[in-house]
């Protein structure tokens, strides 16, 4: 049966890769809705190519521009805007599969709504799960939603787990691999001076700017440990991080009998996306076959928590529980944006997150409202910290 998709965040890096895979298999996948925030021009191009029933943007002005261009081109796609419109397309009876590819906290409400509506969810938007944790996983379980990880590490773990996917027969550990980002070997004392463009130059993956900075600080891996904790229901002690600069092994599962199962491939997000889109089938993703003779060498190192304080901060927030992970994520989003706008230096990202976590009055994440309140208050706290920091030279 053909799958009908809502693609939240279609104009981003994951959105692009998803549509590339979708276009290869028109008999398997069709598009019900595409959503963008402000990039109306790109959304128009996507709508003309994939003819969704609905397109959603962030505001009325962008909606009017998109609508005008679509009508001029003879398109019938309905254009809507705003947070409720995202929820509407994520829960519509007209779609069965929701690709969650909005970046950051903005993706939480529509992705959680998709879980409550019992959709098949392809999760790239790790921040949504980091923020809402058990609330999200409970919604998936209680509404018979299906949650398939798109994040390459989690998709690799999912592929390497026992066939039932969620049963942990004999699993001793999950090993999340990390490239170490662009600053793995850079002299730590020089990290204060790095620019946004340097931070966004990832050695192996091409991604949106926010996750690229997260990879450079290794906050991304910290968020991924929390993501793995909820997705696979394992405590932090059973989730290891291993630096693997080549990004060929995308993660591993270690078993009681000494076996370690891994998923390998070229670093291209179309592989995990195609896996999750077609699951349990396998389809062509457009990614070249892995040539291990060409790769020749795979190397591994332990992560350096001194060099990457954000990784340690994420572990601390996960151990604290409650709304600490939501606060960590919110403070990080604010700090990364300030770094990208050259308002603070690179090392001030960790400093800001640390200060916000230290000031946090933690509480149980008892409802979505409590989580959203913690997100808002951590954002305010992060802005206060940033206001006190010097502008980099």
Residues contributing to the annotated binding site for NADPH: 11-14, 38-39, 125, 127, 208
Cα 343 to Cα 383: distance, rounded to the nearest angstrom: 11
Contact between 151 and Mg ion per CB under 5 A: yes
Of 344, 343, 346, 332, give the one whose Cα is nearest residue 379: 332
Choices 147-155, 268-276, 350-358, 361-369 (CB under 5 A): range interacting with Mg ion:
147-155
Site string for ligand NAD, 222-261 (x = CB under 6 A): ----------------------------------------
Cα 173 to Cα 161: distance, rounded to the nearest angstrom: 10
Contact between 124 and ligand NAD per CB under 6 A: yes
Cα 159 to Cα 132: distance, rounded to the nearest angstrom: 24
Q: What is the full DSSP assignment across 85-107?
A: HHHHHHH-TT-SEEEE---SGGG
The binding site for 1-deoxy-D-xylulose 5-phosphate consists of 126, 152-153, 179, 202, 215, 220-221, 224
Cα 175 to Cα 161: distance, rounded to the nearest angstrom: 12
Nearer to ligand NAD, 63 or 102 (CB): 102
Q: Which residues contact 387 (CB under 8 A, 6 or more apart)?
A: none
Q: How far is CA 347 from CA 113, 169, 229, 284, 295, in A?
A: 36, 41, 27, 41, 33
Nearer to ligand NAD, 62 or 160 (CB): 62
Nearer to ligand NAD, 33 or 355 (CB): 33
Q: Dig out the tokens for 253 from the structure.
A: 């599962």
Q: Dig out the tokens for 74 from the structure.
A: 């003879």
Choices 68-76, 120-128, 181-189, 291-299 (CB under 6 A): range interacting with ligand NAD:
120-128
Nearer to ligand NAD, 226 or 355 (CB): 226
Site string for ligand NAD, 61-100 (x = CB under 6 A): ----------------------------------------
Nearer to ligand NAD, 12 or 182 (CB): 12
| 232 and 157 Cβ atoms separated by less than 8 Å | yes
The binding site for Mn(2+) consists of 151, 153, 224
Q: How many CB atoms lie within 10 A of CB 269?
A: 25
Contact between 177 and ligand NAD per CB under 6 A: no
Map tokens 């944006």 to a residue: 337
- Footprint of ligand NAD on residues 7-66 (CB under 6 A)? 9-15, 36-37, 39, 58
Cα 130 to Cα 318: distance, rounded to the nearest angstrom: 9
Among 47, 106, 130, 241, binds ligand NAD (CB under 6 A): 106
Assign 301 to helix, strand or coil.
Answer: strand
What residue ranges bind ligand NAD (CB under 6 A)? 9-15, 36-37, 39, 58, 101-103, 106, 124-127, 151, 205, 207-208, 210-211, 269
């Amino acid at each position: 049966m053909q799958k009908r998709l809502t693609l939240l965040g279609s104009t981003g890096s994951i959105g692009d890769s998803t549509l590339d895979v979708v276009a290869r298999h028109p008999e398997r996948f069709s598009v019900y809705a595409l959503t963008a925030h402000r990039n109306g021009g790109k959304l128009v191009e996507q709508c003309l190519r994939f003819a969704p029933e609905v397109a959603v943007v962030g505001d009325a002005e962008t909606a009017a521009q998109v609508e005008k261009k679509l009508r001029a081109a003879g398109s019938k796609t309905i254009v809507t805007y705003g947070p409720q419109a995202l929820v509407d397309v994520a829960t519509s009876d007209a779609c069965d599969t929701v690709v969650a590819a909005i970046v950051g906290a903005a993706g939480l409400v529509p992705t959680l709504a998709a879980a409550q509506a019992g959709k098949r969810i392809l999760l790239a938007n790790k921040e949504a799960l980091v923020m809402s944790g058990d609330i999200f996983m409970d919604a998936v379980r209680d509404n018979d939603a299906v949650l398939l990880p798109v994040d390459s590490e989690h998709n690799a773990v999912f592929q390497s787990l026992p066939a039932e996917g969620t049963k942990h027969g004999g699993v001793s550990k999950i090993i999340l691999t990390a490239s170490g980002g662009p600053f793995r070997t850079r002299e730590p004392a020089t990290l204060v001076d790095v620019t946004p463009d340097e931070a966004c130059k990832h050695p192996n993956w091409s991604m949106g700017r926010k996750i690229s900075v997260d990879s450079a600080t290794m906050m991304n891996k910290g968020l991924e440990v929390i993501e793995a904790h909820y997705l696979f229901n394992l405590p932090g002690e059973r989730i290891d991080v291993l630096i693997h600069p080549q990004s060929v092994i995308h993660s591993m599962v270690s078993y009681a009998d000494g076996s370690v199962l891994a998923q390998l491939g070229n670093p291209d997000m179309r592989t995990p996306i195609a896996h999750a889109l077609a699951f349990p089938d396998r389809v062509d993703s457009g990614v070249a076959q892995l040539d291990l003779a060409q790769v020749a060498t795979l190397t591994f190192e332990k992560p350096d928590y001194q060099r990457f304080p954000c990784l340690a901060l994420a572990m601390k927030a996960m151990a604290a529980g409650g709304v600490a992970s939501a606060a960590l994520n919110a403070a990080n989003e604010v700090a990364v944006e300030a770094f990208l706008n050259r308002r603070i230096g690179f090392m001030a990202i960790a400093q800001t997150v640390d200060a916000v976590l230290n000031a946090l009055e933690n509480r149980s994440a008892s409802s979505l409202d409590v989580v959203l309140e913690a997100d808002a208050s951590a954002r305010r706290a992060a802005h206060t910290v940033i206001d006190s920091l010097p502008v980099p030279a």
